[in-house]
Structures are given as structure tokens and as C-alpha cells.
Amino acid sequence: MTLAITAEHLALIAGRKTALMPALAEWMNTLCPQYQIDTAQEFAHFLAQACHETDHFKTLREYASGNAYEGRADLGNSQPGDGARFRGRGIFQTTGRANYLQLGIKKGSRDLFINKPELLEEPEMAVWSACEYWLTRNLNDAANHPDSDRLKKKYRGSVLDLSPVEFISYTVNGGNRGLEDRKAFYAKALGILGQAELASLGRAMPAAALAPKKKDKKASLAKPAKPAKAPKAAKPSKEAKPAKAEKKPAAKPKAAVRTSKRKH
């Protein structure tokens, strides 16, 4: 069952409420599962980065003017004014002409965001652009590692040994800016969403499985069945009657005494 994100979750993670939260939560629930961001741990990593990048879900456009990006070839800013025009937007602060162009291609309209960069300030596109970034950088793989794991990342010529939240932070930010804040947001989000996930799993289980089994009153009131009597042994048939013990033979009669009759 997919975890549902609410505006209240975002407020608890950020430590404040903002006007953007209801719309962001709605689009997160619509779009994130399509990108397989749907567990407490995955959402915790995703929202930790978003919370930092949007200043606690308060803005979908970078506060800075973007002039610092002017002429940045690595961002594809090849034309005058590109720095300000394509400054950071969305919940992951998509920056630079090249990245705006790629998002348009993904949407099937090459110059969609080149011509209208402000579209990335709309909650739907702000969340969608972050999901695309998450997918193309395979960040779900890092998000599903245990927090105790160490992941290798090449950064400015060195190989860093990072925890999953550090690895994702370096990827999204391009460095370690705001790293401690991101880690704190992650820990808070994991606690909040972990509880929400357990609660949603409980609601998903059939009520019958959760309720204690009730004893059947009828069964408990019924008198216990009497033990069955052992079957009586079948009476032997007359023919089968044992023969009576033979009587002792009568004593032989004594020999009769012959008496002679006297003649008179």
C-alpha cells in the first residue's frame, strides 16, 4: 500500500505551515508513486532535499537573482540573460538552460520551459521535475540503503565515503551546502513517515484479522457432551454357548446280591 503524504506531514517535517503544502502534498501523492517513490524511507530522503531547497516548502523559485549563473557552460547558459532567466525553480531548484531544455523534451515539447520557465513554479511541475531528477540519477537506489551503509561518490577529483543521505545531498546540491540541515530533515521525516506507514498498514489489514477472537457464546453455554459409552460386548449366540461341564458319571451300582429262594 502506497504511503499517502499530507500537508500535516510536510508541516511537521518543516516545523511550520506554508500555503504551498496542500498542493505539494496532492501532487506528491499523484506523481511520486509513478516514479517508485512510495515508501517511508524513500519519501523521507526525497522530502529532506525538497524541504531544504524550498526553504521549508515556502518557495518554488530561488531567492537569488540567478546572475551568478550567467555564462555557466556546464548549465548550458550560452545566451545573455540565461543566468537570471533559468535560475533555480521547482522543489529541487532546477537550474540552467540545458536542464530546462531536457525537461521540455521529457514533456514532449522541446521549448516548453525555455519559453515559459515560470511553469516550474507551479506545484505540479515543481514536483514532477524533482521526480524526473530523482529517476535519472537513480536516487532510489541510494535511498534504499540502510543508514549505516557507506556509498562511494566521486567529487572534484576525490572519492568520498558517504552515508545514503550524504550521497543524495551531494547529488542534489552538487556539493555539501546545507548538509547538516538536510540530514536533520531526513531524520525527522523518517520518524514521522515511519509512524504513518505503520498506521496505514494497520488500516489496510482486515478488521477481522486485527480484532481479538470472540468466544462463541452458544458454544460456551452448551453442556459438554457426555463421553460415549463403550459398546457392549455382543452376546454369544446360543450355538456359541460353551458346553456345560459334563456331570460326574454316576457311581456304578453295586452288584446285586443273589438270594436263593428256598423251596418249601
What's the pTM value of the predicted model, to 2 decimals?
0.77
What's the pLDDT at 255? 45
CA distances from 16 to 7, 21, 182, 232 (A): 11, 10, 16, 85
pLDDT, residue 114, reads 98
**pLDDT at position 201:** 80
Spatial separation of the C-alpha atoms in residues 231 and 251, rounded to whole Å: 47
> Is 229 exposed, middle or buried, given 0-12, 13-18 or 19+ CB atoms closer than 10 A?
exposed
Helices 21-31 and 7-14, axial angle in degrees (round to 10): 110
pLDDT averages per 10-residue partition of the chain, 264 residues: 91 98 98 97 98 98 97 97 98 98 98 98 98 98 98 96 98 96 98 92 58 50 53 50 50 45 44
112 vs 105: CA distance, rounded Å: 8
Q: What is the pLDDT of residue 224?
A: 52
Q: What is the pLDDT of residue 156?
A: 94
